[in-house]
């Protein structure tokens, strides 16, 4: 279902006319440009849908329309309505303002930082404040005033608050009162339609007992929203929830039936309930990202598309999740259509199995169950009042099984994939599940090593300052006695010696720690940690670089490693890329270009990358070479903005990755032209390499934008 816009509707963030998108949890309408920023923030900040081209529930759409028409935007811009703010110069962007940085910074402040929301008076106990707000929400949902409830939710009221005296949640109250729009708002903010009251009755039971049957049916749909959305994404159908709660598409011709996929399916079935639900929610978010991407490409002017404004290549980082989970979420974008469909069907099948209470025991029983499941797919489901994922085996039992499976997987993986790395090459379902299962074991060790990394970085910065001081004194001595050309004095070397010794000891300590951490429960984490520490070893040995500890916005792993081709000496064009910087031949330049110039060049780079990706999607391989030339030219222009000898190590590393990836892209694209007529060309493998190079270029460009913006603010 879609809707027609009213003539007077404008974008809530920049006042542009004819907004085409809605932010569901914020209750506002936004234009295309502002929506691109909303999507880059992630669904935990703003859940967006297109008003005309996305699939809507009628009551959900009417709820958003009611909020937008009744001034929900004033909740998020409360302090901007104060005349004192106008005098201080704080204002909303205009439609003519640039997306970056003007609109983007305003939207982040408005929704991510909640900078303009009305602040309550501070109390000694924050818990009391939240409890009071939640009690007000519990009382307010019996009325039709959506704006009051949204304001309470924006201030911190809990949608799943259990009233200690009345023994119900706000959703129970809304269901009993027949307030379907209040129920929609509560569900958007995480209210559970299957939560029991003090007597074990759910909001669905309350709605049916009060003869609000439409509301009861809608709450059942909300309870199964996750599995319904996954099924609709694959086959365009949803269950009616009267004859069954699950639609599991039969897509055998499009599925991955390899032995690896079957092994991954067994591992998915062995996950405990918490990890399975996390995986299902991550896949749900990825489905939402892919659907919005499809709508975006269908509604935009392709001649003006640029990646920075239009595309969200993978799920944005959610700070409430661990780094390992965020990394796994982002890598879902690398699944092709066949792999992703296989994963979704496996999740739907296992969700149905878990609700029916079927358990899996030994590996032999797992195989027997898989064989039975191929021939026996029951059509009937349990009642509407059951939970989406009821408990099967206890988490303790499942964890023990997980430990056994993980040990077996590590042994097999060590034999067949010694040189593999989760950060390189095409991602598989098996690798993603292994990351999920290793979450608890690896996160603490990664954090500890990051702490060691930061300590060493501080030591290296101090050494760098000492070296700069010595070089300055050396230069002054040369000017005073040019005929002698003195080298650093003995006292200078003695002053520096303790720092060098301390640095060597620190490096040895890191090496010993890394050796001990190599015997871990998850083999891939060792490779990832070694990659994180590799820049530090180089820094200590050369004394002219510093460990940055900076995480990429796209990928929560360090990106200072050298790309393929540089490490093995096949790079070429060394003069163009400035791979090494000899500080003795000239001073390092601390200057940086303006953020606006860097963003403009980044938009040109990403625009050409998107043209290349469209050519790959449409199998126009003859366009690879001209596209790669355009990208190389844009990269050269962007790199020329920066000094030849940047002082910041992070800038040097990003420039290396940017230039080297552009050169690799040219080499890969030229392979589409065989050296001899009729020579075979592996187009599929070549396309994967081209996409990987384009990904590396976009990542490096994004890093340069991030570094420039941060340094300019400082």
pLDDT of residue 310: 58
Domain identity same for 73 and 172: no
- When the pLDDT of each residue in the chain is averaged and rounded to a whole number, the result is 74
pLDDT of residue 110: 95
Count of structural domains within the chain: 4
Domain identity same for 191 and 157: yes
pLDDT of residue 373: 42
Q: In the predicted model, what is the mean pLDDT of residues 206-226?
A: 95
Domain identity same for 599 and 685: yes
pLDDT of residue 300: 76
Q: What's the domain range around 153?
A: 128-235
pLDDT of residue 10: 93
Q: In the predicted model, what is the mean pLDDT of residues 263-287?
A: 92
Q: Which residue has the higher pLDDT, 198 or 559?
A: 198
700: CATH: 1.20.120.330
Residue at which a domain ends, from 79, 112, 145: 112
- Residue 29 clears pLDDT 90, i.e. is over it: yes
Domain identity same for 107 and 134: no
pLDDT of residue 85: 60
- Residue 671 clears pLDDT 70, i.e. is over it: yes
- Residue 83 clears pLDDT 90, i.e. is over it: no
Let me know if residue 415 belongs to a domain: no
Could you tell me the pLDDT band of residue 7, with boundaries at 50, 70 and 90? low
Domain identity same for 599 and 706: yes
**Segment among 51-55, 268-272, 327-331, 618-622 with least mean pLDDT:** 618-622
**Segment among 6-20, 86-100, 286-300, 612-626 with least mean pLDDT:** 86-100
pLDDT above 70 as % of the chain:
67
- Residue 91 clears pLDDT 70, i.e. is over it: yes
pLDDT of residue 566: 36
* C-alpha span between 573 and 279 (Å, rounded): 44
- Residue 520 clears pLDDT 50, i.e. is over it: no
pLDDT of residue 380: 36
Domain identity same for 297 and 337: yes
Domain identity same for 145 and 98: no
Q: In the predicted model, what is the mean pLDDT of residues 474-499?
A: 51
**Segment among 122-136, 155-169, 430-444 with least mean pLDDT:** 430-444
Let me know if residue 177 belongs to a domain: yes
Residue at which a domain ends, from 235, 251, 279: 235
pLDDT of residue 472: 81
Under 8 Å between Cβ of 31 and 16: yes
* C-alpha span between 650 and 561 (Å, rounded): 11
Which positions ≥6 away from 682 have C-beta within 8 Å? none
pLDDT above 90 as % of the chain:
35
pLDDT of residue 437: 65
Under 8 Å between Cβ of 218 and 57: yes
pLDDT of residue 388: 34
pLDDT of residue 118: 87
pLDDT of residue 468: 81
Each residue's pLDDT tens digit, 559-600: 333 333 333 333 333 334 444 444 445 578 888 888 888 888
Let me know if residue 456 belongs to a domain: no
CA–centroid distance for 576 within its chain: 33
Any idea what DSSP says for residue 253?
Answer: G
Domain identity same for 624 and 672: yes
- Residue 634 clears pLDDT 80, i.e. is over it: yes
Each residue's pLDDT tens digit, 422-442: 334 455 566 666 666 666 566
**Segment among 41-45, 477-481, 709-713 with least mean pLDDT:** 477-481
- Secondary structure string (H, E, C) spanning 673-694: CCCCCCCCCCHHHHHHHHHHHH
95: CATH: 1.10.220.150
- Residue 523 clears pLDDT 60, i.e. is over it: no
Q: Which residue has the higher pLDDT, 678 or 388?
A: 678
pLDDT of residue 428: 59
Domain identity same for 220 and 271: no
3-state secondary structure of 646: strand
Q: Which residue has the higher pLDDT, 478 or 60?
A: 60
pLDDT of residue 596: 85
Any idea what DSSP says for residue 4?
Answer: P
Each residue's pLDDT tens digit, 338-384: 889 999 999 999 999 998 875 444 333 443 443 344 444 333 333 33
Q: What are the angstrom distances between the C-alpha of 248 and each of 67, 231, 605, 684?
A: 35, 7, 41, 30
Let me know if residue 370 belongs to a domain: no
∠ CA 238-243-248, nearest 5°, is 45
Q: Which residue has the higher pLDDT, 73 or 305?
A: 73
Under 8 Å between Cβ of 72 and 35: no
Let me know if residue 61 belongs to a domain: yes
* C-alpha span between 446 and 463 (Å, rounded): 25
pLDDT of residue 691: 87
Domain identity same for 694 and 602: yes
Let me know if residue 572 belongs to a domain: no
pLDDT of residue 22: 97
Residue at which a domain ends, from 77, 112, 147: 112
Q: In the predicted model, what is the mean pLDDT of residues 661-687?
A: 82
Give every strand in the sheet of 28-30, ordered side by side: 28-30, 21-23, 48-50
pLDDT of residue 622: 84
Let me know if residue 545 belongs to a domain: no
pLDDT of residue 128: 57
224: CATH: 1.25.40.20
Q: In the predicted model, what is the mean pLDDT of residues 195-203?
A: 95
Q: In the predicted model, what is the mean pLDDT of residues 34-40?
A: 94
- Residue 496 clears pLDDT 60, i.e. is over it: no
pLDDT of residue 217: 94
Rg of the chain, C-alpha, whole Å = 29
Each residue's pLDDT tens digit, 165-196: 999 999 999 999 999 999 999 999 999 999 99
Q: Which residue has the higher pLDDT, 610 or 22?
A: 22
Domain identity same for 615 and 695: yes
Could you tell me the pLDDT band of residue 650, with boundaries at 50, 70 and 90? confident
Each residue's pLDDT tens digit, 530-539: 333 333 333 3
∠ CA 257-260-266, nearest 5°, is 90
- Which among 612, 609, 614 has a CA at the least distance from the CA of 697? 609
Q: What is the pTM of this model?
A: 0.53
Domain identity same for 86 and 134: no
Q: In the predicted model, what is the mean pLDDT of residues 234-241?
A: 89
Q: Which residue has the higher pLDDT, 618 or 40?
A: 40
**Segment among 269-273, 550-554, 649-653, 680-684 with least mean pLDDT:** 550-554
Let me know if residue 15 belongs to a domain: no
Bridge-based pairing of strands 21-23 and 28-30 is antiparallel
């Amino acid at each position: 279902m879609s809707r027609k816009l009213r003539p007077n509707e404008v974008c809530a963030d920049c006042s542009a006319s004819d907004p085409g998108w809605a932010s569901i949890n914020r209750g506002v309408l936004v234009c295309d440009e502002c929506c691109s920023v909303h999507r880059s923030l992630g669904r935990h900040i703003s859940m967006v849908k297109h008003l005309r081209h996305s699939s809507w529930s009628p009551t959900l759409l009417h709820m958003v329309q009611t909020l937008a028409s009744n001034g929900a935007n004033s909740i998020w811009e409360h302090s901007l309505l104060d005349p004192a703010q106008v005098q201080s110069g704080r204002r909303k962007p205009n439609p003519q303002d640039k997306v970056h940085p003007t609109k983007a910074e305003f939207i982040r402040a408005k929704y991510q930082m909640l900078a303009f929301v009305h602040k309550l008076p501070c109390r000694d106990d924050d818990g009391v404040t939240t409890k009071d707000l939640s009690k007000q929400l519990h009382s307010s949902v019996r009325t039709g005033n959506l704006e009051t409830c949204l304001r309470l939710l924006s201030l911190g009221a809990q949608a799943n608050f259990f009233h200690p005296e009345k023994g119900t949640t706000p959703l129970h109250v809304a269901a009993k009162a027949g307030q379907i729009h209040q129920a929609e708002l509560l569900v958007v903010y995480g209210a559970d339609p299957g939560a029991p009251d003090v007597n074990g009755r759910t909001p669905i039971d309350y709605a049916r007992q009060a003869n609000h049957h439409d509301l009861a049916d809608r709450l059942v749909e909300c309870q199964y929203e996750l599995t319904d959305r996954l099924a609709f994404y694959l086959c365009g159908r949803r269950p009616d929830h009267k004859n069954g709660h699950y639609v599991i598409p039969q897509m055998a011709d499009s599925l991955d039936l390899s032995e690896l996929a079957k092994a991954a399916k067994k591992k998915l079935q062995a996950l405990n309930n918490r990890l399975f639900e996390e995986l299902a929610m991550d896949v749900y978010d990825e489905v939402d990202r892919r659907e919005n991407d499809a709508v975006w490409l269908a509604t935009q002017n392709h001649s003006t598309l640029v990646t920075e404004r239009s595309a969200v290549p993978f799920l944005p980082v959610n700070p409430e999740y661990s780094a390992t989970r965020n990394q796994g979420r982002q890598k879902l974008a690398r699944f092709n259509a066949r792999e992703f469909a296989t994963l979704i069907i496996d999740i739907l099948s296992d969700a149905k199995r878990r609700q029916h209470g079927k358990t899996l025991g030994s590996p032999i029983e797992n195989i027997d169950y898989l064989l039975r499941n191929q021939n026996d797919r029951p059509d009937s489901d349990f009642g509407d009042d059951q939970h989406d994922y009821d408990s099967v085996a206890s988490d303790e039992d499942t964890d023990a099984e997980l430990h056994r499976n993980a040990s077996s997987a590590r042994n097999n993986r060590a034999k067949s994939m010694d040189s593999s790395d989760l950060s390189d090459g095409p991602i598989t379902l098996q690798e993603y599940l292994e990351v999920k299962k290793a979450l608890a074991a690896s996160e603490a060790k990664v954090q500890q090593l990051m702490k060691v990394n930061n300590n060493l970085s501080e030591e290296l910065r101090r050494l760098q300052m000492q070296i700069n001081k010595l070089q300055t004194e050396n230069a002054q001595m040369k000017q005073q006695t040019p005929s002698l050309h003195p080298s650093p004095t003995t006292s200078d070397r003695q002053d520096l010696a303790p720092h060098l010794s301390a640095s060597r000891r620190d490096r040895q300590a890191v090496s010993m720690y890394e050796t001990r951490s190599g015997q871990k429960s998850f083999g891939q984490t060792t490779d990832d940690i070694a990659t994180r520490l590799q820049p530090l070893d180089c820094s200590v040995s050369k004394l002219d670089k510093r460990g940055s500890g900076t995480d990429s916005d796209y990928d929560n792993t360090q990106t200072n490693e050298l790309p393929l081709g540089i490490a093995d000496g096949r790079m070429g064009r060394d003069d163009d890329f400035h791979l090494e910087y000899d500080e003795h031949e000239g001073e390092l330049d601390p200057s940086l270009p303006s953020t606006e110039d860097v963003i403009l060049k980044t938009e040109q780079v990403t625009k050409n990358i998107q043209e290349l990706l469209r050519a790959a999607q449409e199998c126009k391989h003859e366009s690879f070479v001209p596209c790669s030339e355009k990208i190389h030219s844009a990269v050269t222009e962007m790199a020329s903005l920066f000094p030849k000898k940047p002082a910041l190590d992070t800038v040097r590393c990003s420039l290396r990755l940017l230039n080297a990836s552009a050169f690799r892209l040219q080499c890969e694209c030229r392979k589409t032209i065989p050296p001899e007529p009729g020579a075979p060309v592996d187009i599929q493998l070549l396309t994967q390499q081209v996409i990987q190079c384009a990904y590396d270029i976009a990542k490096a460009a994004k890093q340069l934008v991030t570094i420039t913006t941060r340094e300019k603010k400082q």
